[in-house]
Structure 1
Amino acid sequence: MKRPLLLYVFLCFCGSIYAQNGGVTFESSDAALQTAFNRAKEMALSYKGKPGDPVGPWYESALPPRSAFCMRDVAHQSIGGEILGLGKENKNMFRLFVNNISESKDWCSYWEINHFGKPAIEDYRNDKEFWYNLNANFDILNAGWKLYLWTGDEEYINGAGFENFYEKSVTDYIDRWVLQADSLLSRPTHPNPPVPFNNEDAFHRCRGLPSYSEGVPNIKMGVDLVGAIYRGLMSYASILEVKGQHDKAKLFKEKAAGYQKSIDAFWWNDSVSRYHTFYSNDHKFGMEEGETFLLWFDALKEGARKEKTIQHLLSKDWNIENLSYFPLIMYQNGQSEKACGYMLHLTDPATSRREYPEVSFGVIKGFAEGLMGVEADARIDQVTTLYRGKATATCELKGLPVLKTLITVKHEGNKKTTLTNSGKRKILWRPRFLDDKGKTIAKKAVWVKPGSSIIFSVTVKG
């Protein structure tokens, strides 16, 4: 019989601070993983904009030939951008998105902005005729909250432009596009159509597309939009709590709960054990892509339905945009071996369309937040770690920018972790480990001062 897990903590204060060289780096005893990281980093950084671009700091986050960035892709790529040192780029792009929300566009922003700082002509003609996926406002809201948690930059929750965008998105935007929880299946397909309306014109038909699944004809509502609204309202409630507005936060949590309940009440197909992904104008449910976003927005309750959704996603081949989400969400949902396989696949030179910008940024997220299990919470200056890789491998992420400092995290299998703070401010570190049965064990948080390292080791005596 195994005895209880024993913890040994060693503190060592470094005589020298790790000097960042070329940004964040990754080293591993697993050569394939190290190659995958290097490929992803090189490709992601190749999308950084030029210093003289009129738009200001930015990175490619749309179809590469457009020299542009769109709301969905930026929301997905932003934490990867922070990991790679692209904080200025994130701030500039997010400011442009939140500052361009307007009533004339029915509280939409610009779906896509090019390197000239203009709405991309591929998606915008004028304020009445443009392409826009309604998930976008909630995705940006959620991403802004995550950026605050990762960076500690309070502009993402307190800046005037951000506050206005968030408040309009959870109130006027929902009203204007008829997105209340009890109206999702009965709403008009085109609540704010250009006049005269031309269904053959994509800038008319897709002005307020209710899903990220753009190839589904005759769509009235996508389940991914329901998940996006749920997560957006939950993130907004969290922002309100930071501001001390607890009663208002409670109200928005209750609103969010209505959307999550509707997913299970209306969208589950018991006969095939899957969620429907869209509802059509002829009042029929259907299944296409879209389930990935239920996990991305963490909109499913723990249980059999969530597990069956994960297994279905693992059972099929998906387009490269969908797969770019898989490294992180599979690590987070107990599918570490599969997640690792996706990272290797997405960085394989033989993989078709791996040059799509979301791919390399998604892999970087998979390494930092997934494999290495780094999470940040600016509310309490805390970094959490959890190794999810092979029990015998050593993995080290060096020079990681988080919470206004730089850290190095080294996992020696799932039994020993070292965190080095090579920045200028102290952080709270809470190490976590997976035991031999896959159960997470969280240890007491400790402060790590600048220029110091702390080692946590967990051993099992037989």
Structure 2
Amino acid sequence: MKRFLLACCLVSSSITALSQGAVFITTDTAVQQAYRWAAGMVQHYRGNPNDAVGPWYEAALPSRNAFCMRDVAHQTIGAAICGLDKENSNMLQAFAAHIDEKRDWCSYWEINKFGLPAPEDYRNDREFWYNLNANFDVMFACLKLYRWTGDQSYIQHPVFVRFFEKTVNEYIDQWVLQPDSLFTRPLHPNAPMPFNKQDYFHRCRGLASYVENVPDLKMGVDLIAAIYQGLSCYAAIQSLNGDTAKAALYQRKANQYREKIDAHWWNAADHRYYTWYNGAGQFGTGEGEMFLLWFDALKDTARSNQTMAHLLEGQWNVETTSYLPVICYRQGYWQQARNYILWLFNPATPRREYPEVSFGVVEGVIHGLMGIEPDAASQRITTLYRGNAADTAIVKGLKVLHTEITVTHTGKQSTFQHTGKQTLIWRAAFAGRHDRIMVGNTSREASFRTDNKGHTISFIDLKVPAGSIIKARIN
């Protein structure tokens, strides 16, 4: 215990010196080292807030001093955990502000520290690189950040409201992304004229996937999943803002895309989803399968588990792998999630310096392993430790929902504390079926849910006034 307490002090002081972000301490030394490295790398990628673009962090190839729509959308929760809230807000607003009709309702795919479109991806408004998933992924990031931070600007600021509205309407129409047009749309809608197929600013101006190595790509299943999630987010935002009729309309639209995935993209012979469809009318498979889970587009448990099985069997690029820790924890593959965290941390891992990696490890540990899941709408924070029960794990100084929380998991007990002004709901969750959960000397009847892997999760909801310390335990 003395050794653990000493380690706590050393880790706390070293991370505090780096940032205002969360401190994570655990007796699982391998995960401790991975988190320490990842949190340090996140701070390393933090840009100078006095740069022309304002507060920012690296979210592209580090040599570019820039941030890309895809990478930012995937790094925001890791950034929030590490105290980069101003950066998140500024960068997402920059993307939202630059959506424009003259670019067919695209934004800038990548913005550099000078506040300009990165020249590596942009020549002019007719010739530039753009993956069509990006608008929907940014919408997803905005809603997740609202739920995580409680900052209503992510769903109500005029620059975001306009971005959302243009994306779910004009953008879909302009790029021929209606549910019944996915197989019949032109190969290169809105292409510059005259069209030069050898110029990637022509042929990649509106890629229908995040996967960039498929010749004559017409549609990627990851884009359909992105549209589904983007429209679902828009529906949720309308509901949060009180427009239930509009929410229902756009959720119906979202479901049409999810239904297309299951109706047309499942390869029954190989027990997996096709990932692309080309101009010759052929289906194929590749990297994009992971995004079906990232965008939570699979509601058939058997198919999602088969998708997970295939992902776990494969070797993927480091960007794809950086998303797998949090996905594996969410899907119920807890040991595999830990394995990915340690693989990403391994100095021998190729391209581990790519920024998405460290941000993904941070999110994998706090959001995944510690199971911390804030929900601003209900003022509730869920915790669920998904590690070895013999280990102790602590996160402190974590900013969520306009407060700071400390969460400790020790053996069969979890402890929750927060410093905010408002009473919060703590959903204390535990792995396994436990009919009763103890709070002090009181036994409380538990509720249950099951994750996709079949784990039973037991939980109770507790009101936690500011400053109080609440402990929940199982027998």
TM-score, normalised on structure 1?
0.93
How far apart are residue 429 of structure 1 and its match? 1.0
* 2:195 aligned residue: 197
Verify: 1:240 aligned to 2:238, yes or no.
Answer: yes
Letter in 2 for 1:458: I
Separation in 1 of the partners of 2:217 and 2:76?
Answer: 29
Candidates 416, 424, 429, aligned match of 2:426: 429
- Is the CA contact (8 Å cut-off) linking 1:404 and 1:425 kept in structure 2? no
Deviations 1:69-94 (A, max 9, x none): 00000000001111100000001101
Correspondence list, 1:347-362, <5 A: 347-362=345-360
Q: Distance in 2 between matches of 1:183 and 1:166?
A: 21
Q: Which amino acid aligns with 1:386?
A: L
Aligned counterparts of 1:145 and 1:428: Cα–Cα separation in 2: 20
**Maintained 8 Å contact 2:235/2:251:** yes
Q: How far apart are the structure 2 equivalents of 1:458 and 1:265?
A: 43
> Shift of the alpha carbon at 1:423?
4.1
Q: For the residues of structure 2 that align with 1:91 and 1:179, how far apart are their CA atoms? A: 28
Structure 2 Cα separation of the partners of residues 248 and 62 of structure 1 = 35
The correspondence for 2:175, drawn from 174, 177, 182, is: 177
Name the residue aligned to 2:468: 452
Matched residues in 2 for 1:362 and 1:387: separation? 18
Does residue 1:438 correspond to 2:435, yes or no? Answer: no
Q: Deviations over 1:283-328 (max 9, x none)?
A: 0000111011000000001321111100000001111000000000
> How large is the RMSD of aligned CA atoms in angstroms?
1.4
Q: Could you list the per-position Cα deviations for residues 97-142 of structure 1 after superposition, in whole angstroms to 9, with x for gaps in the alignment? A: 0000000000000000001000000001111110000000000011
Aligned-pair CA distance for 1:143: 0.5
How far residue 450 of structure 1 moved from its aligned partner, in angstroms, is 2.4
2:384 aligned with 1:386, yes or no?
yes
Q: Give the paired residue count.
A: 440
Q: Which one-letter code corresponds to 1:104 in the other structure?
A: K
Aligned to 2:96: 98
Partners of 1:272 and 1:156 in 2: CA distance: 41
Q: Distance in 2 between matches of 1:125 and 1:287?
A: 31
Q: How many Å apart are 1:51 and its aligned residue? A: 3.4
The answer for unaligned runs of 5 or more in structure 1 is 1-17
Match in the other structure for 1:33: 31
1:315-349, CA deviations, whole angstroms, 9 ceiling, x for partnerless residues? 01111000000000001111100000110111112
Corresponding residue for residue 286 of structure 1: 284
Provide the rounded CA distance (Å) in 2 between the counterparts of 1:410 and 1:37: 16
Q: Using CA pairs below 8 Å that are at least 6 residues apart, which structure has the higher relative contact order?
A: 1
1:441 maps to amino acid: S
Aligned with 1:175: secondary structure? helix
**2-structure distance, mates of 1:268, 1:302:** 11
Q: Equivalent of 1:152, from 146, 150, 153?
A: 150
| Equivalent residue, structure 2, for 1:309 | 307
| Bigger mean CA deviation after superposition, 62-71 or 425-434 | 425-434
User: Which residue is 2:213 aligned to?
Assistant: 215
Matches within 5 A, 1:396-411: 396-411=394-409
Asked if structure 1 preserves the Cα contact closer than 8 Å seen for 2:49 and 2:56, the reply is no
Shift of 1:424: 4.4
Higher helix share: 2
Distance 2:49 2:197 in 1: 41
Q: Secondary structure at the match of 1:343?
A: helix
1:238 is displaced (CA, Å) by 0.3
**Which digits, 9 at most, give the CA deviation of each residue in 1:182-222, with x for residues without a partner?**
11011111110111111111111000000000111110000
Correspondence for 1:372: 370
Tell me whether 1:300 sits opposite 2:316 in the alignment: no
SS of alignment partner, residue 327 of structure 1: helix
Q: Is the 8 A contact 2:421 2:466 kept in 1?
A: yes
Task: Specify every segment of 5 or more residues in structure 2 that has no aligned partner in the other structure, as ranges.
Answer: 1-11, 434-453
Cα distance in 2 for partners of 1:342, 1:62 equals 21
1:257 lines up with 2:255 in the alignment:
yes
The whole-number CA distance in structure 2 between the counterparts of 1:432 and 1:51 is: 39
Q: Which residue of 1 aligns with 2:135?
A: 137
Query: Structure 2 counterpart of 1:227, which letter?
Result: A
Q: What residue identity is the alignment partner of 2:139? A: L
The whole-number CA distance in structure 2 between the counterparts of 1:316 and 1:167 is 38
SS in 2 for 1:325: helix
Q: After superposition, where does 1:301-340 map in structure 2 within 5 Å?
A: 301-340=299-338
Give the structure 2 partner of residue 10 of structure 1: none
Where does residue 70 of structure 1 map in the other structure? 68
Distance in 1 (CA, whole Å) between partners of 2:120 and 2:469 is 50
